[in-house]
Structures are given as structure tokens and as C-alpha cells.
Structure 1
């Protein structure tokens, strides 16, 4: 399957990749921009997936084989970049995958600056340079964007850790029940053997 994302600066997505399937997504990019992509396998046996990032002309830029997570940044040209998650190596287990896209130098900030210059002129600056105001705004914007990114990644790590803990809890319970069953069977066999031994002694005395 395939999907296309709108040209937003920051977006994230979580989806389920069935066993034996390959899912691809498309992201339109501009020349001299930057595309950063981070992914994590949150749930599924092995916590691994194959990942591939391709340029608009079909050239493979990144290929990860059986990885649980990855972070990649590429300088882009005009066109649609395709990235794919491949679970065809698994015949049984589906995978829950989280990924985040961060786009830089896509042109929106330049447009914002032009809009500011239209409405803020002369004495309205109150002796402050327009460049200083824009620099402060861009700095705050970058920090807020980074904070949102970190919070999103922390939530993804938390989800993966929770899935691992739940899986380990189920395994512990299963093997505890198996051990309990084995102990009960062994105890029953021992009691039966002791009982048979005493009965044989009584018969030999008579």
C-alpha cells in the first residue's frame, strides 16, 4: 500500500503492518530542503522491520535490514520521496510502527518574514530591528518544535517499553503455570511410587 503526507513541517503516524506486507509512504519535498525521518517498532515479535528510503528518481538513499529503530536525515531535491516499511520476512507476526517526519527549509518561514515586513515598518519597531524580532520568533519556534518532537519520541519509547513489559509478563505467567504443572505431575508420580512401594512390602510380608 501507499500514502501521501501533506507538506507540513512536522508530522507523526502510528500504524499496524500485517505479516507478509510492505507499506510505502510519499512525501513531496523542495530543492535544498531537509527531510528527517525517525521510526520505531513499538510492538510485534522481534521488534524489527526492513526500512527503505528512495529519492524521486528511484535511487535507494537508505536501507535498514531487520532494525527496531532508526533516524535518517537527507538533503532533498524537488519531487516525491518514498519510504517503505517491509514485514514480508515475517509470516505470522504483525508489527506496530511509529514514525515522525521533520521538514526543514520548506519555504514557509521565508513567507512569514515577508508578511512581517509588510505590516511592521519605521517607528512601529520601537527602535528594534526587524531582524532581531524575527530571529527571536524563529528561535522560540525552533525550541517549541524541538520540545514537541522530544515529547512525541518519549511517548513512543514509553509505548514500546509498555508492550515489552506486557509481553514479558505474559511469558512469565505462562512458564510459571508450566512449572507449576510439572511440579504437580512430579509430586503425583512420587506419591504413586511411594504408595506402590509400601503396598509391595505389605504383600511380601503376607
Structure 2
């Protein structure tokens, strides 16, 4: 044998005209069977024990390889930190926009609010399509626990309540009654606070604040509330104006198409009358000769 190959121990045993040769190397133990006359075949041992051990070993190696590959290449996800130091995105205090709700669907929105706040939700259906043109829409408001605080089903309406707990309040608009057309709804919702928040003030600032500054602050806060309510009335007027504009455009289109249809009907009826009158006075010449 060459020096580069591993040493192989061979032992031969003479039993009953058969020669059994066992070779041991780095690949394991291999048994070679041959007959006494020299005719036979050489190959791996057909012993079931060695085959089962080889299969189990290959499976274990495959599992270990897959585990190492998964831990190295796949990213891990962790839950969001709920510590009080991490800020949570609350969004703005007030929103106003228009949304199109498809037929037979429901749209929901969430608004964050602290305790002891005044929550308001105003809506108005500006435009609708479909066969029945039912402009009523179902609106619901729920607290962070899922308890329903108010419902409204009309062309326009509002839901107002006090926020008793801190969290995200759910607002849903249901258009499942209208199965053949969409709705365009204008929304105006949010939360405002009438009282001051003493937690946002430092103790030193509260001590140094005198009566004059406190009176100025109270007056400023009242002015802000009045401006806010003026903004709400402005949004009401804008909602009505947009709704009236869509209604005028719809009526204008309806009148134009109906007038055109009536004009076509009048012209067609006149043509038909002339045609039938002409046929009444149309005398066909007879083929007989007069005497």
C-alpha cells in the first residue's frame, strides 16, 4: 500500500468453504464476502443494523446543519418595548377629511385620547351612488375596551362623550346597507381638553406664577376654546356647503338629461304623427280601367 493511504487491518476467517474479509478504515467497517472457489461479489454489508445506524447519523447531521443555518440566517423578532420611556405615536388631536366607502364595506379609524377629555365626532354623507340612493350610514364609537359609547344612523350626525380612560377610541362607518353604490362621507373628529393639566407644569413654575399670570393663562385658554369651537362651526358649514354643491350638480345633471329625453320624445311623437297622417290620406291607384 501507499504511504498516503490509511492502514487497513484485514483478518480472514475460513468457515465452511466461505472466506469472510473485514476491512477497517476511516469510513467504517466493510465486510467482503467471497466463495472458496474465488467466484463472488464484493460490496457493502447488508446487515440491517449498520444501515439503520448510518441513516440515523445522516439525519442527525442534516438536522444540526439546518438548525445552525436557521439561527444564523433568519432574523429574530422581539415584541415592542412597553416601557414608559419609549414615546408612543398618538397622532394629532383633530382630523377632518372626506373618505369614499365602497358598497357593502365598513371603514374604521382610531383616535387617541387621554382621560377627562371631550371627544367629538361629526359626519355627513356628501354623495352616494347606486340604485336606491339610500344616504343613511351607520356610525359607531367604541372605547379602548371595546364598549360601544354611541351610535348614529342618518345622513348627518354627531357623537359626543367624555373620555373616561386613556387609549385609542374606535370609530366605524358601515355601508353594508348599500350593496350597489359607494358613499362619500366627510368626517370631523378629535378630542379637546377644557381643564389645565397640572402634571405638565413643574413645581417651581407653579410657585413662581402669580395671580396676574394665572389670570392671563386662564383668559388665553378660554380664547383657545372659543377659537376651537369657531373652527368646529366652520367645519360644519364646509360640510354642508360641499354636500349642497354635490346636490346641485346632481340636480343640474338630472334636469339636463330629463329635458333632453323629453325633447327627443316630443320630436319623435311629432314625426310619428306626420307619418301616420300621411298614410291616412295616401290613396292607392286601382289597376282596373274605368269605362
Closer, same or farther: CA 39–103 of 1 in aligned 2, 3 Å: same
RMSD: 2.8
Alpha-carbon distance in structure 2 between the residues aligned to 1:167 and 1:75: 39
CA apart distance, 1:13: 2.1
Closer, same or farther: CA 16–111 of 1 in aligned 2, 3 Å: farther
Count of residues paired in the alignment = 193
Report 1 or 2 for greater relative contact order, CA contacts < 8 Å, sequence distance ≥ 6: 1
Q: Give the unaligned 5+ runs of structure 1.
A: none
CA apart distance, 1:192: 0.9
What's the CA shift string for 1:110-134, capped at 9, x where partnerless?
Answer: 269837x839947xx7xx6222101
State the TM-score, normalized to the length of structure 1.
Answer: 0.81
Alignment of 1:1-206 (within 5 A): 6-44=90-128, 45-65=133-153, 67-76=154-163, 77-105=165-193, 109-110=196-197, 114=201, 118=205, 121=208, 129-200=212-283
Q: Give the unaligned 5+ runs of structure 2.
A: 1-88
Q: Secondary structure at the match of 1:199?
A: coil
Q: Secondary structure at the match of 1:90?
A: coil
Alpha-carbon distance in structure 2 between the residues aligned to 1:112 and 1:129: 21
State the TM-score, normalized to the length of structure 2.
Answer: 0.59
Alpha-carbon distance in structure 1 between the residues aligned to 2:192 and 2:249: 37
